[in-house]
Amino acid sequence: MPTQSRRQLLTTAPALLLAGCKGPAQAQPPVSVPPLKQVAPFPVGVAAMTGQFDDPQFVDILARNFSQLTPEWEMKMEAILKDDGGFDYTRPDAIAGFAANHGLRLHGHTLIWYAQNPAAFERIAGSGQRFADAYRNYILAVAGRYRGRVVGWDVVNEAINENGEGERDCLWSKNLGPDYAALAFRHAREADPDAPLFLNDYFLDTMPNKRRSFLRLAERILKSGAPLTGLGTQTHVSIHMQPGAIKAAIKDLAGLGLPIHLSELDVSTRNEEGVKGALDMTPLPERLAHQARVVHEAADAFAALPAHQRYAFTIWGVRDKDSWLRRPPNAGDGTDKPLLFDDGGRPKLAARAFVDAVAGR
Examine the residue annotation and report whether 165 is marked as an active-site residue of this protein: no
pLDDT of residue 273: 61
Q: With 80 as the cut, is the pLDDT of residue 289 above it? A: yes
- Does 264 qualify as catalytic in the annotation? yes
Residue range 107-146, pLDDT digits in tens: 999 999 999 999 999 999 999 999 999 999 999 999 999 9
Mean pLDDT, the chain, as a whole number?
Answer: 92
- Which residues, 6+ apart, have CB-to-CB distance to 205 below 8 Å? 211, 233, 235, 237, 241, 245, 246, 248, 249, 250
Annotated catalytic residue: which of 158, 167, 286, 297?
A: 158
Which of 200, 227, 201, 82 shows the shortest CA–CA distance to 141? 82
* Domain-wise residue ranges, the chain: 44-358
DSSP string, 281-349: -S-HHHHHHHHHHHHHHHHHHHHTS-GGGEEEEEES-SBGGGSGGGSTTS-TTS----SSB-TTS-B-H
Active-site option among 74, 264, 286, 297: 264
pTM of the model: 0.92
Q: Is the pLDDT reported for residue 278 higher than 70?
A: no
Across the range 350-360, mean pLDDT stands at: 97
Q: For the residues 304-309, what does the mean pLDDT come to?
A: 98
Q: What is the percentage of the chain residues whose pLDDT exceeds 70? A: 90
In one letter, which amino acid is 156?
A: V
For the stretch 234-246, pLDDT in tens is 999 999 999 999 9
Q: What pLDDT is stored for residue 333 in this prediction? A: 79
Domain 44-358 homologous superfamily, CATH: Glycosidases (3.20.20.80)
Q: At 355, phi and psi to the nearest 5?
A: -60, -45
